[in-house]
Chain A
């Protein structure tokens, strides 16, 4: 093996990689907020009284969890324009990531809601609180606290899956790596460095989520 490894290109790639990291962080941050909200709404609907809505959410969860993220992404970005719905790359990526995260999030939040005893809700209603207040202030916080570690893991998984959005030319970390290696011909070294960055990002993201969870949900979460 004559060539050996060469990391000389790194000194000039710093800015480009930082830009990619920023895009990846932006994508997962927006997705976490939207996906978290959608998960709660869908989980509530899944346990609600409207039959067709329950069926709709169940179908959505099964469909998304049993197809690959990249196919969902391509369907949204390449397929939807076929019926007149054209999205730019970044909105398409965020939409695909949100839909994906929420399918898993719905099931996670639902199991959390199942874990909150009925007495909590009944006690809230008996105190004269409105049903919505009981759900948002009493049941939901307990449910989310119970399943917060699972939610955290799923968000990290979604961040790692987001590497695929480079395929629709979103300039995330993987996309920048593709560009760098096409200029330097140092594919292995480039992807090795970027893999390490992803590893650091996943550790960091987990920490941020655990710390954030403690703040919002109190001790014991995460």
Chain B
């Protein structure tokens, strides 16, 4: 059977759906878990802060590929029959939560001290300070770097091909093995990632410049 260029591209685009689904899942669940982690990271009790910090350092200090392997080979040890999509989704979620929590903590830290002091002098409790004063300001700061990080998640999904998840990189390898046209196939795979990531990168950069413009005077 002869593969035309269109056949190659069509199959890659079909596989790109799974790259997108996995990216969205990693971003969504990673965001939820990252929010929980952020709460721990900002907690008043030191042990909670330490646990969150260690979790973040562990995930930021080790390769994503190892994290995926540990989930993929670890879940069966506790009796969970693991499919590549589950390991891929869980691995990315765990990793993304660590990075997002750290990004967001930076945004909370960037809210000026005076905001805390002013709200404390108005007799706000900790939760009220967070809810009404700090979080609203931190959220605005967080938008650009969070969108920027989504690019890292999309690129991270490429590693799930190694544990057998059929996203665009994996399908690229399969097609290459069938067609022996690696130059064309991998160039197309790269182009698909670029088309997914580049607009997000631009958007993040644009929002960042808007934000700086709004605060430069």
Contacts and interface: CB of A to CB of B under 8 A. Distances in A.
Contacts of A78: 176, 182, 186
B78 interface: yes
B50 to A, nearest CB: 17
A81 B70 CA distance: 34
B158 A68 contact: yes
B201 A191 contact: no
B69 interface: yes
Contact of A74 (B66, B159, B173): B173
Contacts of A174: 63, 65-66
B7 to A, nearest CB: 18
Interface string A167-205: 100000010000001000001100110110011001100
Contact of B182 (A79, A162, A198): A79
Interface string A99-110: 000000000000
Contacts of B190: 63, 67, 71-72, 75
B159 A199 contact: no
A66 B152 CA distance: 9
Contacts of A122: none
A1 interface: yes
A140 interface: no
Interface in B151-205: 151, 155-159, 161-162, 169, 172-173, 176, 181-187, 189-190, 193-194, 197-198, 201
Contacts of B194: 63, 66-67
Given A71-B186, A187-B69, A66 B62 contact: no
B181 A82 contact: yes
A81 B198 contact: no
A195 B70 contact: yes
A79 B151 contact: no
A67 B193 contact: yes
A79 B188 CA distance: 11
A66 B197 contact: yes
A141 B5 CA distance: 49
A70 interface: yes
A191 B158 contact: no
A3 interface: yes
B197 A161 contact: no
A162 B74 CA distance: 22
Contact of A199 (B62, B64, B70): B62
A162 B155 CA distance: 14
B66 A191 contact: yes
A188 B172 CA distance: 28
Nearest to B155: A68
Interface string A143-178: 000000000000010001111100100000010000
A65 interface: yes
Contact of B169 (A63, A70, A195, A198): A70
Interface in B120-169: 151, 155-159, 161-162, 169
Nearest to A194: B66
A160 B183 contact: no
A69 B155 contact: yes
Interface in A55-98: 62-63, 65-72, 74-75, 78-83
Given A164-B65, A195-B62, A62 B182 contact: no
Nearest to A66: B197
Nearest to B65: A163
6 contacts: A1-B77, A66-B197, A71-B186, A78-B186, A160-B64, A198-B62
Given A161-B63, A194-B66, 11 more contacts: A5-B77, A66-B155, A66-B201, A71-B186, A74-B182, A75-B186, A162-B63, A164-B65, A195-B70, A198-B63, A202-B61
- In order of increasing CB-CB distance, the 9 nearest A-B pairs are A82-B183, A68-B158, A66-B197, A163-B63, A187-B73, A68-B155, A78-B182, A75-B186, A79-B186
